[in-house]
Structure 1
Amino acid sequence: MENTMNDKPTRLGRGLAALIGDMQPLETAPRQAETSSGARRLPVEFIIASRANPRKDFDAELLEDLTNSIREKGVMQPLLVRPSDQGPDVFEIIAGERRWRAAQRAGLHEVPVIIREVDDKEALELAIIENVQRADLNPLEEAQGYGQLIEQFDYTQNDLAQVIGKSRSHVANTLRLLRLPSEVQTMLEHGELTAGHARTLITSDDPLALARRIVDAGLSVREAEALHQQGTEARRPQPAGEKRSSSKDADTLALEKQLSDALGLSVTLDHKDRGGKLEIRYKTLEQLDGICARLLPH
């Protein structure tokens, strides 16, 4: 990797809004008129979609809502584009493809743009940053976008975490979605499973079976986590001399279930004549944070 990467994550990590504020539009471009915001206007036919955009699906209902808004108020946020190799008057979208599509549906002939001279690498970075920060990507698209950066531009997970402003564990767990069975990936892609469900699936021994149960039963993330924990506990070898949960009385089992349902985590209650032990198991720092938020005073 080139040495220039050493300072790039800090700059890109500031987010797309800060980057757009730093960008100076090119002095010349065909048939452009400057606006008071410093952006320029381009005919929609001069603009093409990005080949590297990690965003593949555009929700029809949301696109129609945006189309109606643009028809009424216009495009409020400029598209970010770069000169294309397909011709001197052609510009490729870096960020803002949904706005461009909606503008065409609304019958607009021109859209505001900011033009930036960037290579493929930085264009892909900016596209992913905008989509991730705007929460426009489904979990699988996000994972595929991260995979593109790693495969095409030799990013490490640490570099990528700095670039997009996420934790390294978030990047690692998101990339693990690419190892899920194809049927599970399709469920994520179609929105049948959420990002919260996905975090449970990547730690499951049988993610396909768990995913089917989640979808068929319409389980919440907490319910899915509890179901996963129950399966893990059932497969765990029992220490010698320790009673299995099946030997516990009905009241203890009922209380365990109530606590597990309330926390969305695996709870074990070992009650004896003069006291006992309450054990709450968590698998992620997010789950630990949730426990702390409930127990510690604000």
Structure 2
Amino acid sequence: MSKRLGKGLDALIPSLSVNDDDKIVEISLKELRPNPYQPRKNFDHESIQELAESISQHGVIQPIIVRKVLKGYEIIAGERRYRASEVAGKKTIPTVIRSFTDQQVMEIALIENVQRENLNALEVATAYQALMEEFKMTQEELATKVGKSRSHIANFLRLLSLPDAVKEHVSRGTLSMGHARSLVSVKKEEVIIALANKAIEQEWNVRQLEEAVQNLDKKKEDSTKSKTKKTDPYLVDVEETLRDRFQTTVKIKHSNKDKGKIELNYYSKQDLERLLEMLNQM
């Protein structure tokens, strides 16, 4: 198993690593089928083509991991190598056969992709939800499984409440995870969509979108007049640091004589408890 996967997969399923004692067999590509729990829906064509060229010259260096199913074999790890072998015109591929439960297969597919950062935010969120529903996991149990914090899990799951049009933008990458997270607190679907479209059209960064969300309930004499607010670069940097640390909207309000206040937004009782827990640990 590639070291790029870190310790997550090895800790979850130690037998996933291929060693010298393993029996490597050549299996026909026709007998293989992709992992049905694979959260990644889009594979980069260019990277598959590059891998196919390498396989044509050097063969498949690292065997893929499969499990025996009713009809043929199911890929546990190595779907890119399988797809690239098809492109390269290979008839067989070196494999190691393992025995895994459905839950293990699902976890492996998720962790492998998340650690390789091949999934977009919506694919990760959908995979997290599927794991929790399929195997009756709590957020904390899932966080332990995938090596993430509970707040990380909660933030991704909140994305699933967004309108489909906005989720599509996140999937395509026209809106970032930070943009999407800023919109979760808005209640009206039409307002969410309007803000998302405006953020894309005007190329707002996350902070600008957050300010637009915060100003929704404020009355303005001229709604079409844009106001340029002078900000301290240092405070902007601190806000970004705190936003990443607490995984929520953060606002620093600076007054005269170096005084001010820091506001942390929460969107549910559970979210508030998460923030209080983090603050108590500091």
Report the TM-score, using the length of structure 2 for normalisation: 0.73
- Matching residue within 35, 38, 47 for 2:32: 47
- CA distance in 2 between partners of 1:74 and 1:195 (Å): 38
Partner of 1:10: none
| Conserved 8 A contact 2:27-2:92 | yes
Alignment CA distance shift 1:256-1:192 (3 Å) = closer
Please state how far the C-alpha of 1:92 moved relative to its aligned partner: 0.6
Where do residues 198-213 of structure 1 align in structure 2 (5 Å cutoff)?
A: 198-205=180-187, 206-213=191-198
Alignment CA distance shift 1:121-1:213 (3 Å) = same
Helix, strand or coil at the partner of 1:93: strand
- CA distance in 1 between partners of 2:103 and 2:176 (Å): 29
Give the superposed CA RMSD: 3.4
| Structure 2: gaps spanning 5 or more residues | 1-5, 221-227, 241-249, 276-282
Helix, strand or coil at the partner of 2:61: coil
Helix, strand or coil at the partner of 2:94: strand
Q: What is the identity percentage for the equivalent residue pairs of Structure 1 and Structure 2? A: 36
Please state how far the C-alpha of 1:63 moved relative to its aligned partner: 2.3
Alignment CA distance shift 1:80-1:200 (3 Å) = farther
Please state how far the C-alpha of 1:104 moved relative to its aligned partner: 0.7
Helix, strand or coil at the partner of 1:70: helix
Helix, strand or coil at the partner of 2:100: coil
Report the TM-score, using the length of structure 1 for normalisation: 0.69
- Matching residue within 152, 165, 171 for 2:134: 152
- CA distance in 2 between partners of 1:276 and 1:16 (Å): 48
Partner of 1:138: 120
| Structure 1: gaps spanning 5 or more residues | 1-12, 26-33, 238-243, 245-252, 289-298
Please state how far the C-alpha of 1:191 moved relative to its aligned partner: 2.2
Amino acid across the alignment from 2:230:
L
Helix, strand or coil at the partner of 1:61: helix
Aligned residues: 244
After superposition, give the CA deviation of every residue in 1:69-122 in whole Å (9 maximum; x if it has no partner): 333333333322111112xxx101122222211111012222222221112222
The list of structure 1 runs, each at least 4 consecutive aligned residues, that deviate by more than 6 angstroms after superposition, is 34-37
Alignment CA distance shift 1:260-1:204 (3 Å) = farther
Task: Report which of the two structures shows the higher radius of gyration computed on alpha carbons.
Answer: 1
